[in-house]
Structure 1
Amino acid sequence: MNAVVPRPARQTAAAGREGPHVAGDWRIRAADDRLTAVAGTVRALLAPHLGGRLLPDTDGGAPGCGPATLVLALDATPSAPHRTPVGVSPRGLSEPADESYRLTVTEHAVTCRAATPEGVFRAATTAVQLIAASEGRLPRQELADAPRHAWRGLMLDPARGHLTPDELRRVIDLAALYKLNVLHLHLTDNEGWRLQTPAVPALTAAGADGTPRAFYTVEEYRALQEYAAERFVTVVPEIDLPGHCAALREALPGLPDAPAPEGLAGRFPFVPPLDLADPTTRDAVASILADVCRTTVGPFVHIGGDEAVGATPESFALAVRELRALVRAAGKRPLAWQESSRAGITPDDIAQFWVDVPMMDLPDTEEELARRPELLAAGHTVELVRALKTFFAPADHDVARVVEGGGRVLLSPQSHLYLDRPYAPDVAPPDQAESAARLGFPLYRPRGVRHAAAWDPASHGIPDARIAGIEMTLFGESITGLDDLTTLLLPRLASLAETAWTGRAPEWEDHRVRLARHGRLWRERGLAYLASTEIPWP
């Protein structure tokens, strides 16, 4: 068997001698000048696995002479299982891109064929996995595949757990290897503002004590988008408003609070949301969003809209409508968390589904609470739990609002796709027990890798025509560096990337065996991962 993740739709063994030896020398050859840039990107992805065995760029003759060859070729009829993916194109295309491909392993070569450069690149990431996760000779075979979902994303949270541009590039490489095509960056929150915003320089100025803040300059942000685009990954920035705004309030003191529901003020700690009905506030936000849209290459800007605790429904709805209008006026398409559905939905709106009350898995009684040590440790009381359920009760109807309004749902349910969920203690090997216990959002019930891999996109009952895509999320409350981040991502990212690509949960026994071969790939890339006891690592 091969260890490719996502598992290709069609795998056919070929008769004859075995294919190239992975331990030998390799070269990359673009059979079409239009694939020269793709070949350079594939070379960069292969380099950590082949080192000096990846020969310099040169034609060097036809396949079969000397080193093994990874051939990239455009083919208008590549005999791949072409289908139109479900969902929204993250690149803003009227129809999702054709990412179908065919990969053939012969005695001396691995050939990647597709009708588009994007499809060739998806085939090449399969080839990288075959080479990196295999030992000995590759079996002669043919693989063919195409995605089920057009939008396959990963959200990271540098607002809370900052990552350097180089670290983000390493995550982009990882995402591309598993055929993800969106990097959603949660750039602002109470804890920080991570994108240089020339209109309001105070957002990234040094603190009152002179301590410099960590953020991405406009030049770094543009370079990051260019790097992602070379891997057919679209960057979507998130400016989270009108709640989660402490960093903005610190930079622009004196902005008025949004009108609060009667009796809420002072009962629970929260940062008051912004009041977008206030002209000064609206002008400041308009300048910020215009800057963000101006420096963003992709077609989407995320406006947040989640957990606006302390705003009346009327104030919140006004804020969402203003934020959407400002992004559209700047030439971009807005998307927001599911709560934005309460401001109305049109066919052009995308709402990111992350929660409903049953999914929150909260206790109802003192006895049930007593059996949840993670909630008790965080100071939860039955009163607080009831308040949370009351606040989140409208979430139970958000998806229906989106569907009925003709909008699109981006699937990110916290039950399975929130990768800041702690690992269950019983799946952590002894040498990783301490880090497994430290990492993740402590209010989520810990789970294993199999739990994430079991998620079924169809379980939510949303019609295909109303689905935008699938996106994993990883909020950064517990992140202190790249090793923490990738330990939470891996192996779960690979499992959910397979679900996003194929449209269904993988068969676990087969999947766990394939996953086991990817530990080597991650080690060669210098990426930490949880060696879950659920998986038979070699």
Structure 2
Amino acid sequence: MNAVIPEPRTAAPATGQDPGPRTPGPWRVHPADPGLTGIAATVQALLEPHFGSRLLPLGTVHRHDVPTLTLALGDGADGSPAPIGVAPDGAARPVDESYRLTVEADGILCRAATPVGVFRAATTALQLLVTSGDRVPGQELTDGPRHAWRGLLLDPARGYLTPGEVRQVIDLAALYKLNVLHLHLTDNEGWRLEIPGIPELTAPAPDGTPRAFYTTDDYRELQAYAAERFVTVVPEIDLPGHCATLREALPGLPDAPVPEWLAGRFPFVAPLDLTDRATGEAVAAILADVCRLTDGPFVHVGGDEAVGATDESFAHSVRELRSLVRKSGKRPLGWQESSRAGVEPEDILQFWVDVPMMDLPDTSDEIAARPELVTAGTTLEFVQALKSFFAPTDQDLARILDGGGRVLLSPQSHLYLDRAYAPEIVPAGREGDAARLGFPTYRPLGVEHTAAWDPASHGIPEDRVAGVEATVFAESVESLDDVTTLLLPRLASVAAAAWAGRAPEWTGHRARLAHHGRLWEQRGLAYLPSTEVPWVTAHEG
């Protein structure tokens, strides 16, 4: 078998006795079409952490003793159906990403009808070269995606990553054929994007400490870097709740009206009141700058967990946020809660939770049986308040569908990768990381649990699915190593389901995963070597 993830739709061994090329190198990358020269440079950059000096410079002439990774435009169709969902680049129909890859004695040929299809083939070739041991067996693979939108949310608002670290995550996403990077740029804990119209948002703290944020140049360069890997950046400015940093930068903004039942009961950062003139002007300036700086067609406006706003205030805020984004020529996205402001056919809402999915206890005894809840100091009163607050989420999905909107699938149950790992699958010596990382009240689970998720399990008609997006919120992280430890190996499972449109078969998937630790190590990425997977060491080939 090959160890490619997502598993290719078809895989056939080469005819005859072709042993395939040796992997130790040297190797060269060759664009057979002039229009693929830029993609060849990107593929070369992705291969360098694995090949180093064994990778010959681009433009090296053909040598019979050096295998070649050839990139070519041609027939890449694999007979798979057209992808479903929303195209991240805003096109009316998703681009053809199907490809055909052929391994022969003199190298690997990547063919597709489009440049993006050629790039997807090249990432498959990279996985083959890294995971196949000393020789890539002769074979032909064909593949194409089921979902057009395959995303990953990063949370630099809570766990800042430098631009260089974000680039490492973009590379990782591209290697597993993800094509959207959703940046959660603002929250109570931080504001991470320079807004030229409101410099106070990223000014030094009152004690003079500089704040970590992305300058407008940083943001433009990250988008360009992602685009070279066929990844679209979607920024999120999370409002009207999650706004402590905005309130700190612009003191005096009034609170949204509070529902009578909640007033004074629980502490929260009051959501914004967008009926207030000063607040509306500030938010309009922010979104105008974000839209102007964003190359892609989508801007996410949040709309989740606006604790402390009346239904009327929340609905007004969401409608205003959507309107401001559209006035700037972009398409708004929002979390599922924003469906309560109304849904129209052009709306895309991100489905992440309902009360059953939250897996909350009903009694004090059930709390006592959950170590993660005991450690977090969870009380029955707090659980009951959570259930009451989140009760409307049980109808959000129906609201989206009834209004004719599209659903972006990010269910907390499987695609929130800030979930702690179950202690029983954590290898010796990694107990500290496993105990420290993950949202404190989620039930710890294993890699197999994530891999079991089926995109069709929610019963949403295919024509109403926008796509699939994993998230890794950063309440518990302090470094890139922490982020990738939460992501890996689980991100590969989500990528497989998003690409194929179904859960990967676990026995085969874990066998393929076993070879990917080598890939992550060569790229300098930390991961959790779950005992569920029979990891293959470098010398085992």
Distance in 2 between residues matched to 1:7 and 1:17, nearest whole Å? 22
- Aligned twin of 1:361: 359
CA shift for structure 1 position 79:
4.0
Q: Is the 8 A contact 1:22 1:135 kept in 2?
A: yes
- Aligned twin of 1:68: 67
Among candidates 181, 192, 204, match of residue 183 of structure 1: 181
> Which blocks of at least 5 consecutive residues in structure 1 are unaligned?
none
Query: Are positions 1:14 and 2:14 aligned together?
Result: yes
- Aligned twin of 1:331: 329
What residue identity is the alignment partner of 1:60? Answer: V
CA shift for structure 1 position 82:
4.1
Q: Is the 8 A contact 1:80 1:114 kept in 2?
A: no
Secondary structure, aligned partner of 2:247? helix
CA shift for structure 1 position 22:
0.3
Distance in 2 between residues matched to 1:271 and 1:504, nearest whole Å? 39
- Aligned twin of 1:276: 274
Among candidates 82, 85, 102, match of residue 83 of structure 2: 85
- Aligned twin of 2:522: 524
- Aligned twin of 1:165: 163
CA shift for structure 1 position 80:
2.1
Query: Are positions 1:105 and 2:103 aligned together?
Result: yes
What residue identity is the alignment partner of 1:20? Answer: P
Q: Is the 8 A contact 1:158 1:194 kept in 2?
A: yes
Secondary structure, aligned partner of 1:56? coil
CA shift for structure 1 position 57:
1.2
Number of residue pairs matched?
535
- Aligned twin of 1:285: 283
The runs of at least 4 aligned residues of structure 1 exceeding 6 Å deviation read: none
Q: Is the 8 A contact 2:418 2:439 kept in 1?
A: yes
- CA RMSD in angstroms, aligned pairs only: 0.8
CA shift for structure 1 position 58:
1.8
Q: Report the more deviating stretch, 52-61 or 490-499.
A: 52-61
Distance in 2 between residues matched to 1:46 and 1:81, nearest whole Å? 29
Q: Deviations over 1:335-391 (max 9, x none)?
A: 000001000001110000000000000011122122122222222221111111111
- Aligned twin of 2:41: 40
- Aligned twin of 1:135: 133
Distance in 2 between residues matched to 1:78 and 1:211, nearest whole Å? 54
Q: Deviations over 1:73-117 (max 9, x none)?
A: 001x33423421110000001000100000000111100000000
Q: Is the 8 A contact 2:77 2:98 kept in 1?
A: no
Distance in 2 between residues matched to 1:466 and 1:57, nearest whole Å? 44
Distance in 2 between residues matched to 1:177 and 1:17, nearest whole Å? 27
Distance in 2 between residues matched to 1:402 and 1:365, nearest whole Å? 32
Among candidates 245, 248, 266, match of residue 247 of structure 1: 245
- Aligned twin of 1:2: 2
Distance in 2 between residues matched to 1:514 and 1:237, nearest whole Å? 33
Matches for 1:294-305 after TM superposition, within 5 Å: 294-305=292-303
What residue identity is the alignment partner of 2:9? Answer: A
Distance in 2 between residues matched to 1:373 and 1:439, nearest whole Å? 15
What residue identity is the alignment partner of 1:22? Answer: T
TM-score (norm 2): 0.98
- Aligned twin of 2:539: none
Q: Is the 8 A contact 1:82 1:98 kept in 2?
A: no
> Which blocks of at least 5 consecutive residues in structure 2 are unaligned?
537-541
Distance in 2 between residues matched to 1:509 and 1:154, nearest whole Å? 25
Secondary structure, aligned partner of 2:372? helix
What residue identity is the alignment partner of 1:17? Answer: D
Q: Is the 8 A contact 2:268 2:308 kept in 1?
A: yes
Distance in 2 between residues matched to 1:141 and 1:517, nearest whole Å? 18
Q: Is the 8 A contact 1:72 1:111 kept in 2?
A: yes
What residue identity is the alignment partner of 2:56? Answer: L
TM-score (norm 1): 0.99
Distance in 1 between residues matched to 2:535 and 2:57, nearest whole Å? 33
Distance in 2 between residues matched to 1:272 and 1:314, nearest whole Å? 15
Distance in 2 between residues matched to 1:536 and 1:219, nearest whole Å? 44
Q: Is the 8 A contact 1:185 1:235 kept in 2?
A: yes
CA shift for structure 1 position 290:
0.2
